[in-house]
Amino acid sequence: MGDIMGENRLFIDGQLVAAESGRTFPNVDPATEQEIGQVADASEADAERAIASARRAFDSTKWSTDHKLRQRCLRQLRDGLREAAPQLREQIIAETGAPLGIVENGFQCDIPIGFLDFYADLLDSYEWDTELPVTNSMGAPSERMVWREPIGVVAAISPWNFPLQSNLAKVGPALAAGCSVILKPSSETPWTATMLGRIAYEHTDIPPGIFNVVTTSNSSLIGDKLVSDPRVDMISFTGSTHTGRHIMAKAASTVKKVFLELGGKSAHIVLDDADLSRALRAGFNVCYHAGQVCALTTRFLLPKPRYEEGIEILRGYFAAIKYGDPHDRTQIMGPLVNRRQQERALRYIEKGEAEGARLVCGGGVPKHLSRGFYVEPTIFADVTNDMTIAQEEIFGPVLAAIAYDGDDDAVRIANDSIYGLSGAIVSADLERALRMARRIRTGTLNINGANYYSADAPFGGYKQSGLGREMGIEGFEEYLEKKTVAIPGYRRQGG
């Protein structure tokens, strides 16, 4: 085990500082249930300082207009993160319980650091100003231009399941666009954010106030202040749909822009011509990071004639899943992030049994582990799509297997959800899978084991899975306003 000592200070107005009250709160390792350190516990006064500094820095520095400065700072931040990567990996393992195998060179750490290259490079090629055709709509020619400008002060509110990835997916494009940022991470994973503040302080030329990090044990209090303050121009939030609804309502008072990346209950459709054994290997994914991934396909749709065959294949795969010590890089599953999440997953399992689903395997707390917030890899069969475990996001290692009767029925079941985040289709006939994909109402979709995830791919959902897109050019443009400017139309006419 490497160094897990984290940065315990806030980052406000270019300085690493303690909370004004001096208060701290504990950071707990979900695999051991032990405290690993303390971190500053910000109050409303600290949030006020962060908002004021972000507003002043955006309004009074050259950050919003100096593309080269922003590009240099993003690359400095990338280099600092790469230097700190060994320590960051250990902190992510200790804070989230994610196994080393999905942290090292994976989505939890190394890959998202590389996202900063995408946004730094984009500053060279992006068309900030474009021209529209000359118009004579008011009786005289007018030349028109569309300018793209940073939206202003952004409050980025991030989750605990993939903390560094989520932080960088918000902070990277927002800074590249020319915004100032206040990052409020989850109280479950504070160090992954405070380390960003320290690296920005030690390695970059980011002007004071442009980037701020505020950690708190009272997420609702500080979150509500950020959302309702008129000096904040945009909220970028990743988390539950329930909280997303609350943020939309609070933001309405100042009519600020809201980006939301919310929950999912995605369907994995195995068509009747698929190699069932190969297609169902993806069942492992339900246990990836203990099921704490919004885009996981947790509803497995199996053709009725092959349903029981599929259940037995899944049972065999789940029996082979190893989990325990997060430092074992052969594992994909660790604990849930805290006791509250563990108990929540267990209540959903009880609900599944009470509503008539058949428990195939798992369903409880593992007997071979004496500590840690673990839940056994769990499969439910005989699930109908109106059951609670088919409709609500569990955020635990629980798979719901649903039988369908024909392609139209599979599409109906997949779309019968308030969510529309992701999905998967497996078929021996690629064209058939593509035709079905056109009918699935989700923001992302994998076919035959392919994976959409990369810095240039927009990610987000339909319906109650969110508003807007993260990553890609589309994610960058979330942080921009568009200004249309008209001048007398003489230049292009030689006048």
3-state secondary structure the chain: CCCCCCCCCEEECCEEECCCCCCEEEEEECCCCEEEEEEECCCHHHHHHHHHHHHHHHHHCCCCCCHHHHHHHHHHHHHHHHHHHHHHHHHHHHHHCCCHHHHCCCCCCHHHHHHHHHHHHHHHHCCCEEEEEEECCCCCCEEEEEEEEECCEEEEECCCCCHHHHHHHHHHHHHHHCCEEEEECCCCCCHHHHHHHHHHHHHCCCCCCCEEECCCCCHHHHHHHHHHCCCCCEEEEECCHHHHHHHHHHHHHHCCEEEEECCCCEEEEECCCCCHHHHHHHHHHHHHHHHCCCCCEEEEEEEHHHHHHHHHHHHHHHHCCCECCCCCCCCCECCCCCHHHHHHHHHHHHHHHHCCCEEEECCCCCCCCCCCCCCCCEEEECCCCCCHHHHCCCCCCEEEEEEECCHHHHHHHHHCCCEECCEEEECCCHHHHHHHHCCCCCCCCEECCCCCCCCCCCECCEECCEECCECHHHHHHCCEEEEEEEEECCCCCCC
* 261 is annotated as an active-site residue: yes
Q: Which of 261, 393, 470, 478 is catalytic?
A: 261
Name the active-site residue from 7, 294, 361, 376.
294
Is 309 an active-site residue?
no
Catalytic positions? 261, 294
